[in-house]
Amino acid sequence: MTLPDQAPAARGPLTPAAVVRALLPLVRAEATAEAPAAEVDPADLEQAVWLRLLERPAGQGAPADPARWVRAAVRAEVRRARRRARRERAYTAGEPPGDWSGCPERLALGADERRVLRAAVDRLPGRCPRLLAAILAPHDPTYREIAGELGMSQGSLGPIRSRCLGCLRRMLAAEVVAPEVRG
């Protein structure tokens, strides 16, 4: 394939807009054909090929064999997308990337958060400190065990727990400083 608007030497070099107009159908068709195999969006693949064309040195202008260049560029981008897909893992919200269980920073932050929580629980009124301390126990007791330990009926633990957590939530929200208005 040669570019239809390719100007003879007398008229000067081909403009970038003319190159894009001439190559657009071919780039779009190649990207649409190759994208499903690489599990990428055809528009993203097409955009990567256009970037590759723009990255060519300024003196080179349009490729000598545009069809061959487009096919090679699309396939190179597909290979790059496949390699990237093998290397990258999706980040799922709520989980830290990798295993941070032994990370000193994670351990220090966790200990600090537990210290703040325990201090807030200790400041709660009434039976709340004992109840929440029993719920937060490291051995993860059942409601029956907590009720026996505190001398309460098992049925009253839920409503009392709910009131205590509401009080704790209000207490901790009041301690959080509101962000300043920027501008």
The whole-angstrom separation of Cα 124 and Cα 173 is 14
Nearest C-alpha neighbor of 68 from the set 26, 13, 14: 26
CA-derived radius of gyration, the chain: 32
At 127, which CATH number?
1.10.10.10
DSSP state for residue 23 in the 8-state scheme: H
The whole-angstrom separation of Cα 149 and Cα 67 is 79
Does a structural domain hold residue 71?
Answer: yes
Taking residues 49-67, what's their average pLDDT?
Answer: 78
Taking residues 45-63, what's their average pLDDT?
Answer: 79
pLDDT band of residue 62 (cuts 50, 70, 90) is low
Per-residue model confidence (pLDDT) at position 7: 46
DSSP state for residue 6 in the 8-state scheme: P
Per-residue model confidence (pLDDT) at position 129: 93
Least confident of 77-86, 92-101, 165-174: 92-101
**Can you count the helices (H) and strands (E) in the chain?**
7, 0
Per-residue model confidence (pLDDT) at position 28: 92
Does a structural domain hold residue 94?
Answer: no
| Residues of the domain holding 163 | 104-175
User: pTM for the full model?
Assistant: 0.43
